[in-house]
Amino acid sequence: MGKRNTILTLGILAIIFIIAAQVIILRGLWKQENEMLTLRYRSLAQEANASLRGSVIEVHDTVRYILSQYSRKLVKELPEIKDETSLNEKKKEILDYFTTALEKEQDFTAFLSKYFEDQGFEKNFNYRISITNIEIITSDTTSFIAYRSDSYLGLGSGGPGNIAPEAEESKTSISVLRQRLGDNYFYLNFEYYIDFSDKQKLILRDTAASLIISLLSILVILTIFMITYRNLMEEKRLSNLKTDFINNMTHELKTPLATITVAGKTLEMPQIRSDDSKILSTAKLIGKQSVHLNQLINMILEISMWERTEFQLDKKTVNVEELMNDIVSSFRQGYGHSAVLNQKYNFKGINADIDLVYFTTMVNNLLSNAVKYCEKEPEINIEGFVEDKNICISIADNGIGINKTDQKHVFDKFYRASGGNIHKYKGLGLGLYYVKKIATAHGGDVTLNSKPGKGSIFTVTIPY
Ligand code: ADP
């Protein structure tokens, strides 16, 4: 038990370590991909912007024109505004106007999108424009500062094409461009961000292969672990069953041996030797027990025989109903003499290819169990019928029944239901194992339906 738990704990620990390692690796990969994506798009935007340089006028032409017209008007208006409040309002109005004009009229986004697409990258992105400085040039030497952001002041003025620092970037937006636009009437500085709202999806797409391989490897490791663990448990169970079998067998062998020993001792007694009838009955007892002992030894030999070779069926075509009648009537005369045996057949007179010896053993095992595992007067209902080219034989008893857990294992070699091992019911846990083996050797199967305390129904199906 301790060993099993150690293996389980070690296995689970190993799996946790492997999963943790995979998670760390994947996180690193994700971070790396994230950085690569930022770098890639930033350098792409930079390239795009550089390619614009010769024709920068075209891209910002419209917005420059609109802003120039607006600023020209402002140059005239501004000197007339005297009080602080109106001036502040004007500043706000200017910022709004510039912002709206930039948002609406800039063609950089369309240009960038096309550029990204041409280079084989994602063309859909959101953008954000952040104005850092607006100056209205009122004369050759003076200018009216309508707006100036803190970052503009802090970072100094960048020339066209300068890249804004990462500090301004949020998790999904990439600062790709710092632009300066102007003419005789105004100066404008703004930063352009591209915002991949589905950046995570892009990264996921790029890392999908690694992700899948990693998940698969975890899955494979888990499966291998589970299979190994199950095999280990199965081996343990089999070895326990074998030990039980040896204990049961020893017990079975000891009984006749003890009787023979006692009988031998009895024969040595002078008062017995003088009585012929006692000698005879003791000799008979020895003979009977020797036969039993012999049967047991033969059975052990047979078990090893069955194990070594896949047994060969010697099939003969027989009338199933006649065969069943024969088997049940000889059972009635022997082990089943105390039981009520009801038969109901509807075999429609069919003949089937059957190995008589094995088939008889199979039905006998089921019938014997029905009598053996019963605590009242055994009543056994034997039914036979044909269904879909199969012979079906069901043997229902009113015995102790089998619980759900044991039902899964009763056909296993050496398996005895938990109550069965206490020598109350003698047995080696092989009867049903042979039943299953014989049924499958005939191309069929056996099923069980049982309720503890109520009884069991075993149904054998064999194709004909
Ligand atoms: P054995 O009878 O030698 O123990 P079997 O392989 O015939 O071995 O049966 C396996 C176990 O299944 C038995 O130990 C018993 O607990 C249970 N079993 C088999 N047949 C019946 C039955 N008809 N009713 C109740 N329990 C049964």
C-alpha 374 to ligand 1 mean position (Å): 11
pLDDT on residue 26: 87
- Run of H or E including 213: helix 199-268
C-alpha 330 to ligand 1 mean position (Å): 21
256 CB near ligand 1 (under 6 Å): no
Q: Whose CA is nearest to atom 12 of ligand 1?
A: 410
Alpha-carbon span 46 to 62, nearest angstrom: 22
pLDDT on residue 37: 81
Q: Which domains does the chain have, with CATH numbers?
A: 2-205 (no CATH), 315-463 (3.30.565.10)
Alpha-carbon span 293 to 286, nearest angstrom: 10
3-state secondary structure of 386: strand
pLDDT on residue 7: 79
Contacts of 164 (CB under 8 A, 6+ apart): 155, 158, 175, 177, 178, 191
395 CB near ligand 1 (under 6 Å): no
C-alpha 294 to ligand 1 mean position (Å): 23
Q: Which ranges in 78-198 belong to alpha helices (H)?
A: 84-105, 108-118, 150-155
What is the full per-residue pLDDT of the chain (464 aa) written as tens digits?
Answer: 566 678 788 888 988 998 899 889 988 988 888 888 878 887 887 788 777 766 555 667 888 889 999 999 998 888 888 888 988 999 999 999 999 998 888 777 888 888 888 888 878 888 888 899 999 998 888 888 889 887 776 544 444 334 344 444 555 677 777 888 888 899 999 888 887 666 777 788 878 888 898 889 889 988 998 999 899 888 888 888 888 888 888 888 888 899 999 999 988 888 888 888 989 999 999 998 898 888 888 777 777 776 666 677 889 999 999 999 999 998 998 888 889 999 999 999 999 999 998 899 899 999 999 999 999 999 999 999 999 899 999 999 999 999 999 999 999 888 888 754 456 777 778 889 989 999 999 999 999 999 999 999 999 999 98
Terminal CA-CA length for the chain:
47
252 CB near ligand 1 (under 6 Å): no
**Could you tell me if 82 and 117 are in contact, meaning their C-beta atoms sit under 8 angstroms apart?**
no
pLDDT on residue 161: 38
C-alpha 397 to ligand 1 mean position (Å): 12
362 CB near ligand 1 (under 6 Å): no
C-alpha 369 to ligand 1 mean position (Å): 6
Q: Whose CA is nearest to atom 19 of ligand 1?
A: 369
3-state secondary structure of 223: helix
Q: Which residues of 294-328 are buried (b: 16+ CB within 10 A; e: fewer)?
A: eebeeeeeebeeeeeeeeebeeeebebbebbeebb
